[in-house]
């Protein structure tokens, strides 16, 4: 078993932002391997984050972002459980990053639950007309694919994150929940672009 030094614990703490005790436990479990420790902490943190997602999040901040040319702006309500977390650099950075993401990718809704069912039905009808004549099971798969594409293109939480499109915005938020130990939710947002209807 590898010796766990204070320098190793500090390095892991600097990389994860977690407490000394958790970092030491992870290093002991991973036999001193920093990368395996980070991976184990992320897995346990995401599992814990899932549990926290049902907790009430009534504190937070309204973030604003104005694009450099002044013709595009975003307002974002980002909620957490306490004003203490709302004041942390991590939470502040997350809010700014999500604002920039909204400015760049122009989502229409926060999540799939916010999408008007009538709108989706209309899109399904259009898709059904486009693939008339194909076998019914193929039609259903095509329609399901089109609906999933609409949701992943237009729902903020389902979009690939602007800074790393391999992860969704929802997973970025879950990572921050794991790191900060509090539930974080996007309340609502508004994207305004000059000349846009």
**Judgement on whether residues 147 and 160 belong to the same structural domain of the protein:** no
pLDDT of residue 133: 81
Burial label, 3 (beta-carbon count in 10 A; 0-12, 13-18, 19+): exposed
In which domain, by residue range, is 107 found? 59-111+155-193
Residues 41 and 63 in one domain: no
pLDDT tens column, 64-90: 999 988 999 999 999 998 889 999 999
Same domain, 148 and 163: no
Q: What is the mean pLDDT of the chain?
A: 86
Residue 193 clears pLDDT 60, i.e. is over it: yes
Instruction: Say what the pLDDT of residue 48 is.
Output: 53
- 44-48, 102-106, 149-153, 182-186: which has the highest mean pLDDT? 102-106
pLDDT of residue 169: 95
The answer on 100 and 178 residing in a single domain is yes
Same domain, 12 and 25: yes
Task: Indicate if the pLDDT at residue 119 is higher than 60.
Answer: yes
Residues 100 and 179 in one domain: yes
Whether residue 179 is predicted with pLDDT greater than 80 in this model: the reply is yes
Shared domain for 19 and 32, answered yes or no, is: yes
Lowest-pLDDT choice from 41-45, 60-64, 175-179: 41-45
Residues 74 and 139 in one domain: no
What is the model's pLDDT at position 87? Answer: 93
Question: Do 32 and 43 fall within a single domain?
Answer: yes
Based on the fold, state whether residues 69 and 95 are members of the same structural domain. yes
The verdict on residue 71 lying in a domain is: yes
Q: What is the pLDDT of residue 35?
A: 85
Residue of higher predicted confidence among 85 and 17: 85
Structural domain count of the chain: 3
> Which three-class secondary structure string do you get for the chain?
CCCCCHHHHHHHHHHHCCCHHHHHHHHHHCCCCHHHHHHHHHHHHHHHHHHHCCCCCCEEEEEEEECCCCCEEEEEEEEECCHHHHCCHHHHHHHHHHHHHHHHHCCCECCHHHCCHHHHHHHHHHHHHHCCCCCHHHHHHHHHHHHHHHHHHHEHHHCEECCEEEEEHHHHHHHHHHHHCCCCEEEEEEEEECCCC
Q: 165 and 149 in one domain?
A: no
Establish if 1 belongs to a structural domain: no
Q: Which CATH number characterizes residue 97's domain?
A: 3.30.479.20
Q: Model confidence at 174, in pLDDT bands (50, 70, 90)? A: confident
Q: Both 100 and 189 in a single domain?
A: yes
């Amino acid at each position: 078993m590898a010796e766990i030094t204070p320098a190793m614990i500090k390095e892991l703490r600097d990389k994860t932002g977690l407490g000394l005790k958790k970092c030491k436990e992870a290093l002991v479990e991973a036999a001193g391997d920093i990368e395996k420790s980070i991976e184990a902490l992320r897995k346990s943190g995401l599992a814990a984050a899932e549990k926290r997602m049902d907790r009430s999040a009534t504190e937070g901040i309204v973030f604003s972002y104005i694009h450099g040319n002044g013709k595009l702006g975003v307002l974002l309500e980002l909620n957490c459980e306490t004003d203490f977390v709302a004041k942390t650099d991590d939470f502040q950075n997350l809010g700014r990053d999500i604002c920039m993401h909204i400015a760049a990718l122009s989502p229409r809704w926060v999540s799939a639950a916010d999408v008007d069912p009538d709108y989706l039905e209309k899109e399904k009808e259009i898709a059904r007309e486009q693939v008339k004549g194909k076998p019914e099971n193929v039609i259903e798969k095509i329609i399901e694919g089109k609906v999933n594409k609409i949701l992943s293109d237009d729902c903020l939480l389902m979009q690939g994150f602007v800074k790393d499109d391999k992860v969704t915005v929802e997973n970025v938020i879950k990572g921050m929940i794991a790191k900060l130990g509090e539930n974080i939710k996007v309340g609502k947002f508004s994207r305004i672009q000059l000349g846009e209807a």
